[in-house]
């Protein structure tokens, strides 16, 4: 059981790291393009900050203390909170949606 929880912990940790890299690249891509809204870039930056905070907490409480299940819960919450920040931010705080 401990080996399975460690495996899930490392998979979730990798997924969250990839999500942080995705949001940071999107932040720099959107902030360098003058035709895009700055609010989109700031939403991605806020999401990456939230996920990095979750990664730090998961490393501190899940990896260091050998409590992989607690780390899995923190990483899952971090993934969900980052996704919710992106979803709510782009839908409600970015202005009207224009379909082309």
pLDDT tens digits, one per residue of 46-96: 999 999 999 999 999 887 767 888 999 999 999 999 999 999 998 888 877
Which ranges in the chain belong to alpha helices (H)?
2-32, 38-58, 68-92
Domain that holds residue 37: 2-92
What mean pLDDT comes out for the span 28-37?
89
Nearest to 26 by CA among 1, 44, 52: 44
pLDDT band at 100 (very low <50, low <70, confident <90, very high): low
88 occurs within a structural domain: yes
19 occurs within a structural domain: yes
61 occurs within a structural domain: yes
Provide the domain count of the chain.
Answer: 1
pLDDT band at 44 (very low <50, low <70, confident <90, very high): very high
100 occurs within a structural domain: no
């Amino acid at each position: 059981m401990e080996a399975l929880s460690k495996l899930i912990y490392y998979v979730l940790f990798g997924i969250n790291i990839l999500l942080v890299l995705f949001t940071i690249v999107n932040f720099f891509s959107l902030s360098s393009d003058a035709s895009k809204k700055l609010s989109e870039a700031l939403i991605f930056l806020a999401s990456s900050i939230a996920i990095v905070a979750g990664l730090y907490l998961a490393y501190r409480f899940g990896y260091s203390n050998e409590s992989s299940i607690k780390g899995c819960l923190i990483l899952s919450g971090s993934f969900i909170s980052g996704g919710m920040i992106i979803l709510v931010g782009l839908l409600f705080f970015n202005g009207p949606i224009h379909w082309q």
